[in-house]
A and B are shown apart, each in its own frame.
Chain A
Amino acid sequence: MDAVRPRLELFSGEQVEAIVADALAVLATVGVEVENEPARLLLREAGIAARGFRFVPDENAVRAALATAPARVVVYDRDGRPTLDLGGDRVHFDPGSAALWILDPASSRRRPPVTTDLVHLAWVTEACGNIAGQSTALVPSDVPEAMGDRFRLYVALLNSTKPVVTGTFATDAFAVMHAMLAAVRGGAAALAARPLAIFDCCPTPPLKWSDLTCQALLDCARTGVPAELVSMPLGGATAPVTLREMIVQHCAESLSGVLLHQLAAPGAPIIWGGSPAAFDMRHGTTPMGAIETMMVDAGNAQVGRSLGLPTHAYPGMSDAKVVDWQNGMESGIGAVLAALAGINLVAGPGMMDFESCQSLEKLVLDDQACGMALRLARGVGHDSAGEAVDLLRQVVALGGFLGHRHTRDHFRAEQFLPSKVIDRGTFEQWEAAGGRSSFEAAREEVRTIVARGNPAPVADDLRAELTALISAETRRLGIVGLPPV
């Protein structure tokens, strides 16, 4: 359909160039601190100037790295189907990642998540038709911290077919996580050809790359696992408060990430992402539902797209502590703005209390917001000039459109058809069905999904292979008593 894509662009082309120019100047003068020795070695070998461990790359070095980074990154699901097609202005959603809490649906209070919650999260994500990826969105409290990152990926791979957005908590985690992903694909080369996971790599604001994150970036580059740069400037705390300068810092941090990554392996897949936030000047918190947070997300994505890279951000989350009006309002606005801004990978569904609490109920509700946002991004078709005349001529005789073939043929593509958690019935139907709030409807939906069990079991031999890998890692770390999956 010949539709015009509705768009949100905060800047003109010249304004984007000016932001990039400022970011390049920041790198060439202030530079970035690099804590990881192999990364320093790479930078020195490439002739990047340094003052101690602060590297000050010039524009040429950065432009060379941008030139080798691919404009499109495709991530495939467990069965090898292309699922996340990142680049241009194509939009996909995945749940907000790595929450330390889960919302208990009975009490509407947070509690520490356990492995069973992680399993259910994967099942619910699998059931959400508008959420293309899964993420290791909970940190299970019944798993020793040293195993948390690896174990979450293991659970995700066993319980959903969707590609995984994940990350490492320790520099020694990557090897076994890569081995598990390769096991699913049948080898490291097959995994590089059809990536199954994306690893988040977060620089420390302002302008610093920690040992852990550098290592993850290098590991990703060398294995062809897509890396996602998650710069986290806090406007007024760890970054300038003005949105433009915040985006300049964001851009400088991400550019240095692209440089490091492409030096390690030119052409390796990398995603221009971020988790910026406006800083709350009363509470000292990082509101993800603030409109300025979402504006920086949109602006940063526009900068990334102009540099020819796939983009990512975290709109669609809420700072609310329960699933209430604030929660739906912030999440819905975020999903819509992300779709309008053409952010390729939008993490956030299910997440609340900043980025600290996942709610499976919120996830199935957000799935609907994502569906509506995706519908908006498709725009309105325009390949049918004159059709209205014919239709109205026919319908004058028929008496209405409900029984017209045209309606039956087009309504499913033309309308987003919401699930049962969105109420569009009459008052009487609503009352007869128990007079439920959307949260109560979502609670019922989650119960139904969980009761159906694992929607995506893996074959026995693959399960055994993955279990052997995680068991060997457990022995290596001297851990006993992992929860059963």
Chain B
Amino acid sequence: MTERQELFAALSRAVLDGDDAAAPRLAAQALDGGVSALDAVEKALVPAIREAGRLFEEGEYFLPELVTAAQAMKAAMAVLQQALGAEAAALALGRVVIGTVEGDIHDIGKTLVGTLLSAAGFAVSDEGASVSVARFVARARELDADLVCASALLTTTMPKQRELVEAVRAAGLRAKVMVGGAPVSPRWAASIGADGHADNALAAVTVARSLVGRDAPS
């Protein structure tokens, strides 16, 4: 292996290990050594996070490993972001507003999806839990969001997802709406006119990519 390959391997390893101290340090080291930021993203970070997703799907990795890998990826991305400059636009998949609907304080699933979306290259604005429809709409307009993602963990708060879809359409926003959460079924998503639904965080990334027309290369 060349020195550069070794560095990429170490950076990938740091992401897989969820080491959010080593990952940014190695990213900075790569830049100092004259590596292009785009190369570091495409040859180290993206393969690593994809591997973490594969390990999760196969039952080898569990949520803590997936989330810490995504966090390490985010930390490395933050270092590379400035250097990316014009290239950054090419990498950014889109802007996302995410939150749990009003009256619902469950935020584990939503946070997980937000973390994985940002690791995948989306610019994510996490609005937290119990977010009003009005706030979702205002933030989507402000950020010119590509996607609005709303989570509901309770059958009693699911109707807020329907209100959100209606409000986004009524406001004339271009954003597409994704819904998720334990009680949310594909049938429910379709019945309220949502653009997308996923029943786990990894699937959410795939659905989000396809909604913004940026399917992952197979």
A interface residues with partner B (beta carbon < 8 Å): 399-400, 402-405, 407-408, 411-412, 417, 420, 426-429, 432
Contacts and interface: CB of A to CB of B under 8 A. Distances in A.
Interface stretch (B25-33, B41-49, B57-65, B87-95): B57-65
B16 to A, nearest CB: 11
Contacts of B63: 402
A410 to B, nearest CB: 9
B62 A417 contact: yes
B111 A402 contact: yes
A366 to B, nearest CB: 20
Interface string B74-112: 000000000000000000000000000000000110011
Contacts of A420: 59
Contacts of A402: 63-64, 67, 108, 111-112
B111 A432 contact: no
B111 A400 contact: yes
A237 B201 CA distance: 59
Interface in B179-204: 182, 184-185, 199-200
Given A403-B111, A428-B182, A429-B200, 17 more contacts: A399-B107, A400-B111, A402-B63, A402-B64, A402-B67, A402-B111, A403-B64, A403-B67, A403-B71, A403-B115, A405-B18, A408-B65, A408-B68, A420-B59, A428-B184, A429-B199, A432-B199
Interface in B148-201: 182, 184-185, 199-200
Contacts of A428: 182, 184-185, 199
A454 B199 CA distance: 37
A37 to B, nearest CB: 58
Contacts of A400: 107-108, 111
A412 B62 CA distance: 9
B120 to A, nearest CB: 16
A367 to B, nearest CB: 16
What are the 3 A-B residue pairs with the smallest beta carbon separation, nearest first? A408-B64, A403-B67, A407-B64
Interface size class of B (residues with CB under 8 A): 20 to 34
12 contacts: A399-B111, A400-B108, A402-B108, A403-B64, A403-B70, A405-B18, A407-B64, A408-B65, A408-B68, A427-B182, A428-B184, A432-B199
Contacts of B199: 426, 428-429, 432
Contacts of A429: 199-200
Contacts of B62: 411-412, 417
Interface string B1-25: 0000000000000000010000000
Nearest to B115: A403
Main secondary structure of the interface of B (DSSP, over half): helix
A419 B92 CA distance: 37
Interface of B: 18, 59, 62-65, 67-68, 70-71, 107-108, 111-112, 115, 182, 184-185, 199-200
A404 to B, nearest CB: 8
Contacts of B185: 428
Contacts of A427: 182
A429 B70 CA distance: 23
Nearest to A402: B67
A399 B108 CA distance: 9
A426 B65 CA distance: 20
B108 A405 contact: no
Contacts of A417: 62
A444 to B, nearest CB: 14
A405 B71 CA distance: 11
A403 to B, nearest CB: 4
Contacts of B70: 403
Contacts of B59: 420
A404 B20 CA distance: 10
A421 to B, nearest CB: 12
A426 B184 CA distance: 10
Residue from A408, A417, A426, A432 having most chain B Cβ neighbours under 10 A: A408
B111 A405 contact: no
Contacts of B108: 400, 402
A428 B153 CA distance: 13
A411 B61 CA distance: 11
Contacts of B71: 403
B180 to A, nearest CB: 11
A139 to B, nearest CB: 36
B10 to A, nearest CB: 19
A166 to B, nearest CB: 34
Contacts of A408: 18, 64-65, 68
